[in-house]
């Protein structure tokens, strides 16, 4: 780090000792520091660059960590982390054993609440403020920073609605940049745009909710921000400060292409240019297989519609939004609404593909049960990012879906081995199943170069025998089965090991299981999900039901939260990697 101010900032107290002119220089250095690290280590870039001045102003005006500060989602908290005693270790951000890419209570006393999913900050800060009142704690401020995309979520509205009916001493900073990961959508976005233009209707929505509203103001004017925060500090009750910022501020490429530079990967820190990807032909990403396939199917089936809660680029529903815009819907950060809207469409005879990241479907659990499965509506859930997702860490791993969905009546659960199976199950589902289905697939690339093949219908509840054996049967679910196939090809196991691509977590292929239990001496199950209640448990339950005494070893993720790291590193930690499986199989084979 070049000589300057940032290298001397070890704590927010150091910021409060500076003059305004020094704070402006600090903002420049902080931006350069974030760009320098993220250019090589990767991570979320644009959001943190957009709130540099706000971050400095908040820590300058408020007495953190005594005053409570929550960053909604946490994409924008890099500057906060750097200024709160983590500058020296910020190069470990999102790395195995390093600091988290999101605020995390166990990491720092300055991280007042863990925020990896959006729209939780208002509820959390209100809870803290009310707790302070109950405990009789005085002279404490409570601040939440939330974006315009996140504040449109139902949970944020619930928090606003309650907060406005209290005298809690809270400040909501609305960071309005008209973009979340993709551009913000919805009527509230249009309202905020009108507020910025000065063309909004007379009544202010936040004032109507009993908030003391101020703004909109330039979120990059550090001196003005500090003055306004100082003024608001002395006003009691619920307050909302509306600031306008530019996502990616300070890096021209990031300002010009805010979607790409939300999390751009590695780039040239001087120019902002992304480093070129490999020119070698690779299998496609599962998300793109979904995106291209739904368009292909929808062109032949006019009843197909696509729904995503604020993830059109990440899920690749953007392809359908471009080609069939009247039948593809980005509903904003609103997973509950997405699921129930899909149920409504299914009730009217449409074929809704509801594409939600596995970790975010957790936010709509009641809707899956009450609004879809209970009514046996044929919604097709496509669960992207299933399994361990890597450096986003514990808040984003999609490892609970098989367990939390398996107990729901009427719901089919399928995990494709490869891209062809993903296409085929999508094809099968849109033909009409008469009940809902969840299709789970991982982040990243598949295994098949020639993936765009003729569609074939998949019979429900039927597995595949990939390799016949005599002694040990390995039962895999989903993409991780490719690792098993690679392992068996490399082993000199003399035909003793069988491999079964089970495909369906529910319904299980009980006919195949009976055959396996009567043929093999030992059974292994492997999944990239939690062991408790997951795929392996389903196999174990069925074995018990038919009084099978064949020993079953379950490879899955133990009852712990897995932190950040590369997918390969995390598979090793979770003991679902190729070397762990190989050692276990070799030990079984060598017991004779």
Q: State the catalytic residues.
A: 247, 335, 363
Give the strand order in the sheet containing 504-506. Answer: 328-330, 304-308, 351-357, 380-384, 437-440, 412-414, 504-506
**CB-count burial class (<10 Å; 0-12, 13-18, 19+) for 265:** middle
Q: Tokens standing for 517?
A: 């239990």
Residue 285, Cβ neighbours under 10 Å: how many? 18
| Cα within 13 Å of Cα(514), Cβ side | 6
CB contact set of 101 (below 8 Å; sequence gap of 6+): 43, 44, 74, 93, 94, 391, 392, 393, 564
Distance between CA 478 and CA 484 in Å, rounded? 11
Which residues on adjacent β-strands are paired with residue 398? 387
Q: How many CB atoms lie within 10 A of CB 170?
A: 25
Task: Choose among 452, 464, 461: nearest CA to 501.
Answer: 464
Angstrom distance (rounded) from CA 397 to CA 268: 29
| DSSP calls for 441-503 | --SSB-S-SS------PPPTT--EEEE--SSEEEEE-GGGHHHHHHHHHH---TT-EEEEE--
Six token digits for residue 195: 């507020």
E strand or H helix at 106: none
Separation of alpha carbons 535 and 530, rounded Å: 9
Token code pair at residue 116:
């990896």
Q: CA nearest 72: which of 112, 120, 142, 111?
A: 120
Q: How many helices (H) and strands (E) does the chain have?
A: 24, 17
Q: At what angle do helices 578-589 and 481-490 cross, to 10 degrees?
A: 50
Distance CA 576, CA 529 (A): 10
- 396 closest CA partner among 356, 366, 447: 356
């Amino acid at each position: 780090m070049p000589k300057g101010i940032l290298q001397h900032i070890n704590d927010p107290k150091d910021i409060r000792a500076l003059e305004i002119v020094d704070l402006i220089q600090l903002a420049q250095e902080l931006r350069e520091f974030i760009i320098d690290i993220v250019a090589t280590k990767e991570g979320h870039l644009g959001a943190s660059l957009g709130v540099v001045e706000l971050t400095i102003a908040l820590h300058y005006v408020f007495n953190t960590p005594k005053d409570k500060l929550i960053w909604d989602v946490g994409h924008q908290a890099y500057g906060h982390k750097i200024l709160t005693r983590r500058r020296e270790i910020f190069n470990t951000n999102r790395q195995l054993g390093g600091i988290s890419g999101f605020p995390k209570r166990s990491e720092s006393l300055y991280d007042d609440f863990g925020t990896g999913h959006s729209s939780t900050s208002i509820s959390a800060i209100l809870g803290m403020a009310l707790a302070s009142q109950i405990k009789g704690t005085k002279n404490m401020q409570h601040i939440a920073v939330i974006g315009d995309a996140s504040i449109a979520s139902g949970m944020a509205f619930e928090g606003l609605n309650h907060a406005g009916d209290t005298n809690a001493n809270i400040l909501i900073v609305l960071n309005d940049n008209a973009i979340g990961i993709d551009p913000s959508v919805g009527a509230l976005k249009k309202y905020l745009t009108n507020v910025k233009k000065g063309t909004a209707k007379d009544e202010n929505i936040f004032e109507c909710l009993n908030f003391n509203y101020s703004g909109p103001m330039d979120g990059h004017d550090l001196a003005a921000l500090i003055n306004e925060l100082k003024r608001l500090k002395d006003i009691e009750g619920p307050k909302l400060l509306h600031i306008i910022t530019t996502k990616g501020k300070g890096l021209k490429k990031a300002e010009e292409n805010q979607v790409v530079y939300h999390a751009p990967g590695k780039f040239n820190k001087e120019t902002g240019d992304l480093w070129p990807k490999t020119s070698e032909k690779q299998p496609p990403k599962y998300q793109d297989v979904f995106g291209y396939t739904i368009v292909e199917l929808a062109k032949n089936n006019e009843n197909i519609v696509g729904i995503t809660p604020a993830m059109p680029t990440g899920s690749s529903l953007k392809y359908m939004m471009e080609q069939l815009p009247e039948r593809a819907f980005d509903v904003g950060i609103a997973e509950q609404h997405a699921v129930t809207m899909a149920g409504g469409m299914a009730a009217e005879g449409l074929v809704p593909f509801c594409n939600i990241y596995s970790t975010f479907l957790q936010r709509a659990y009641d809707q899956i049960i009450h609004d879809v499965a209970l009514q046996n509506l044929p919604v097709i859930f496509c669960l992207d990012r299933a399994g361990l997702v890597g450096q986003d860490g514990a808040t984003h791993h999609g490892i609970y879906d098989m367990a939390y969905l398996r107990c729901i009546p009427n719901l089919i659960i399928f995990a494709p081995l490869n891209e062809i199976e993903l296409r085929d199950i999508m094809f099968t589902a849109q033909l009409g199943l008469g009940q809902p289905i969840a299709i789970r697939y991982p982040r990243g690339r598949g295994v098949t170069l020639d993936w765009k093949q003729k569609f074939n219908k998949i019979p429900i509840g039927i597995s595949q025998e990939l390799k016949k054996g005599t002694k040990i049967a390995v039962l895999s679910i989903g993409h991780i089965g490719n690792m098993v196939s690679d392992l068996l090809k490399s082993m000199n196991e003399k035909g003793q090991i069988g491999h079964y691509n089970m495909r369906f977590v529910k319904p299980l292929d009980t006919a195949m299981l009976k055959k396996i239990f009567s043929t093999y001496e030992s059974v292994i199950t492997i999944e990239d999900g939690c062991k408790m209640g997951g795929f392996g448990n389903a196999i174990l339950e069925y074995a018990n039901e038919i009084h099978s005494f064949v020993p079953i070893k379950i490879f899955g993720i133990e009852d712990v939260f897995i932190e950040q790291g590369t997918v390969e590193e995390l598979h090793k930690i979770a003991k679902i990697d190729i070397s762990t499986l190989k050692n276990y199989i070799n030990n079984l084979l060598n017991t004779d």
